[in-house]
Amino acid sequence: MSPLPVFASPGSKRELEEGETFTPRFGPDGLITAVAVDAESGAVLMLAHMNAESLARTLATGEVWYWSRSRSELWHKGATSGQIQTLVEMRVDCDQDALLLRVRVGGDGGCCHTGRRDCFYRGVAYDAESGAVTLVPRAS
């Protein structure tokens, strides 16, 4: 594996928003939000979090690593399922506190631990008359 990159500390607001230096802004918990989308279709696959090490490993290996909040450990996506996410492109938002990962998914192409293609398989429905909020299957 290549040496892991080291990230610079954020500079001025102008440098953060307009500069060329990647200075990811991790939250107080040491994490940054990452949204994975299918590189071909643009479909949203999943939302996860990265710490500095998982972000650095992703850049160094070209395969996506996350930080599992529930297990408190590094998570090489697909290491056990075969659903390896190969990084095609990484984008950062304007204030560098969120990432967009364009990926190709290996194995059976799924991403969700429920066995589905993506984690966003239900919609939220609100009935204004009754005030009920329910989950409904999302059309594929």
| 119 annotated ligand binder | yes
| 127 annotated ligand binder | no
What is the CB-side half-sphere exposure of residue 36 using CA atoms within 13 A?
A: 29
- In whole angstroms, give the CA distance from residue 79 to residue 63: 10
| 112 annotated ligand binder | yes
| 108 annotated ligand binder | no
Helix (H, G, I), strand (E, B) or coil at 13: helix
- In whole angstroms, give the CA distance from residue 65 to residue 57: 7
Can you say which residues are annotated as belonging to the binding site for Zn(2+)? Answer: 94, 112, 119
Can you say which residues are annotated as belonging to the binding site for Mg(2+)? Answer: 93, 95, 97
Can you say which residues are annotated as belonging to the binding site? Answer: 93-95, 97, 112, 119
